[in-house]
Structure 1
Amino acid sequence: MTLFAVALVVFSALLHAGWNILGKSNQVSGAAFFLATSSAAATLLTPYLIWYLNTIGLESLPPVFWKLLLVSGISQMVYLLGLGLAYKHADIGVVYPMARALPVLMVGVGTVVLGHQLEPLHWFGFALITLGCLVVPLDSFKQLNFSSYLNLGVLWALVAAVGTTGYSIIDKEALLLINQSVGELIADQYSSVFYLGIQFWAIAMPISVYLLATKQREQFGVAWNIRRSALIAGSMMAATYGLVLFAMTMTDNVSFVVALRQISIVFGLIMGVIFLKEKWYLTRGVGVLLILIGLVLSLS
């Protein structure tokens, strides 16, 4: 990864931790919150989507792209709804690291399956990041056993992690497909912004279908009532993942981007202590140290 790509991902991680603080502190359901935020971001970017499609021509994008987009949107929905439910049952200092832990190894495995190479040092760094994420939720090292993770907060955090793994791998492939299809017509950076906007529509629509299918129509009204705070959080979400997608265009192996994004755990823990008055334990300090060492090794 280039230094510029690293800087983009680190800044996006700071924004990511910020909107997670907003998500944890909101008093409405996760489904309503994320419907509102994704719809706000999608609406803001719609004029750009119209310009982009008018520039390249809708027929320039192959059918397989729209299939990848659909799967990515569903994966994002799984991630967001899992995260929202997790925050109802546990502190952000517990949920946030857990939701970020598994994707590091899972995306690493996925990229190897797709043909990318990872050195043993990279795997060791990924393992340290994951271990740090698993230590962070504990109050003390005496709790370092399987039973400590048997709670609803961790369960939903794992569901969120599965969603993260899915969209991280798919989004890289979708970006590659876009660039191969229209790279001669428009620069990759413009395509990354287009994908960001179209993906928010791919998130909002599955969430809407989910709410209708589960007969939770009142959540649409709740989402409308929080539209102002959702606009702020949605803008942060858009900026966060927009920077990540931009960085993806600068590196071949998405697992490095996913690993570096875990610096957001450090930001999230600090914000949780400062803004949500959550407690800081020795385990969290050790976990943060393991994550930072893992990041250095995985990017070396």
Structure 2
Amino acid sequence: MSMDVTLLILVAAALHAGWNALIKISGDRIAVMGVVTLAGSILSMLALPFVDSPDPASWPLLALTILIHTGYHFFLPVAYDHGDLGQVYPIARGTAPILVTLGALVFAGEQVSQFALVGILCLAIGVMALTFDGGKVSAIKPKAVLFALATGVCIACYTVVDGLGARQAGSIIGFAVWLTIGDGILTFLIALFWKRHEITTVMRNNMMTGLAGGAMQIGAYWIIIYALAVAPMGMVSGLRETSVLFAALISTFLLKEGFGVWRFVSAGLVTFGLIISRRGS
């Protein structure tokens, strides 16, 4: 993995933490998710004239990942309904790198070095360590854990499918643009059927939040899909989960969810994982 790709993934991680925070703090979370993804679709449509269409061979994977992304878009806000950003986000993101590494091995034949594998494990453990920050293990709500784990499985599944699809698409950015248009529209339509009144309220009062969230969402996705097409999926997934450190800062200073020693433990493990991953790349 080149330094340029590494830095791009870190930018995507910051963007991802930012739009997740908006989902957490901006009213009914499913309604906000619907508006954010709709805004992302509209912005993606503006890019259509400037990108090539993905190769038809990638369309089945494109359809599959649109469905998985849509499921993720609903598991995530429901998880936030039951738990804090500082606990839900690490569980959801921390489970993904190991699952992605296994999925990439099985479905894409990708193998990583021992150094890279140790780095991915450190990243995942460091991410998960934040789950215990700010309270006891017993304070973690079972429903929050359940939906966060379901979110993590969705993340792992769509990461592998995105990587495979982008590699078949011919146009990596074209695949990413079609993806964000498709999952955004589908998510919005389902949310509109479910939360029509709440969506009307969000669009009336928080449309700028929706546009900002949509811009951050598609920016993060497009960068990651590019990275998945040119670098090992497990390493991309592990590095992307540094977004939890950004989320930890947001949950501490913006959401006032508390600060504890586990933030330092997590930061150390994530930093060590990054260094080891870079040596193994």
If the length of structure 2 is used for normalisation, what is the TM-score?
0.89
Write the distance in 2 (CA, Å) between the matches of 1:150 and 1:91: 10
Q: Residues 141 and 148 of structure 1: is their aligned pair in 2 closer, same or farther, counting only changes over 3 Å?
A: closer
CA-CA distance at 1:111 after TM superposition: 0.9
User: Aligned residue pairs: how many?
Assistant: 277
CA-CA distance at 1:112 after TM superposition: 0.9
Aligned ranges 1:1-300 → 2 under 5 Å = 1-30=1-30, 32-52=31-51, 61-62=55-56, 64-113=57-106, 114-139=108-133, 143=137, 151-179=142-170, 191-211=171-191, 215-225=194-204, 226-251=206-231, 253-300=232-279
CA-CA distance at 1:5 after TM superposition: 0.6
SS in 1 for 2:22: helix
Give per-residue Cα distances to partners, 1:153-205, cap 9 Å, x unaligned: 121111111111111111111111112xxxxxxxxxxx333222211222123
Q: Residues 274 and 200 of structure 1: is their aligned pair in 2 closer, same or farther, counting only changes over 3 Å?
A: same
Amino acid at match of 1:108: T
CA-CA distance at 1:10 after TM superposition: 0.9
Give per-residue Cα distances to partners, 1:48-77, cap 9 Å, x unaligned: 214535xxxx6x732x42221121111112
Q: Which has the larger radius of gyration?
A: 1
Give per-residue Cα distances to partners, 1:5-26, cap 9 Å, x unaligned: 1111111111111112211111
SS in 2 for 1:229: helix
Q: Residues 52 and 290 of structure 1: is their aligned pair in 2 closer, same or farther, counting only changes over 3 Å?
A: closer
Q: Residues 142 and 230 of structure 1: is their aligned pair in 2 closer, same or farther, counting only changes over 3 Å?
A: closer
- Look up the match of 1:185: none
**Where in structure 2 are there 5+ consecutive unaligned residues?**
none
Amino acid at match of 2:174: F
Q: Residues 115 and 149 of structure 1: is their aligned pair in 2 closer, same or farther, counting only changes over 3 Å?
A: farther
CA-CA distance at 1:211 after TM superposition: 4.0
Amino acid at match of 1:274: F
CA contact (8 A) 2:62 2:179 kept: yes
CA contact (8 A) 1:104 1:258 kept: yes
- Look up the match of 1:184: none
CA contact (8 A) 1:77 1:163 kept: no
Q: Residues 65 and 276 of structure 1: is their aligned pair in 2 closer, same or farther, counting only changes over 3 Å?
A: same
CA contact (8 A) 1:141 1:283 kept: no
CA-CA distance at 1:215 after TM superposition: 4.9
CA-CA distance at 1:90 after TM superposition: 1.4
CA contact (8 A) 1:78 1:159 kept: no
Write the distance in 2 (CA, Å) between the matches of 1:151 and 1:280: 22
CA contact (8 A) 2:76 2:151 kept: yes
Q: Residues 18 and 165 of structure 1: is their aligned pair in 2 closer, same or farther, counting only changes over 3 Å?
A: same
Q: Residues 249 and 131 of structure 1: is their aligned pair in 2 closer, same or farther, counting only changes over 3 Å?
A: closer
If the length of structure 1 is used for normalisation, what is the TM-score?
0.84
Write the distance in 1 (CA, Å) between the matches of 2:15 and 2:81: 21
CA-CA distance at 1:92 after TM superposition: 1.1
SS in 1 for 2:169: helix
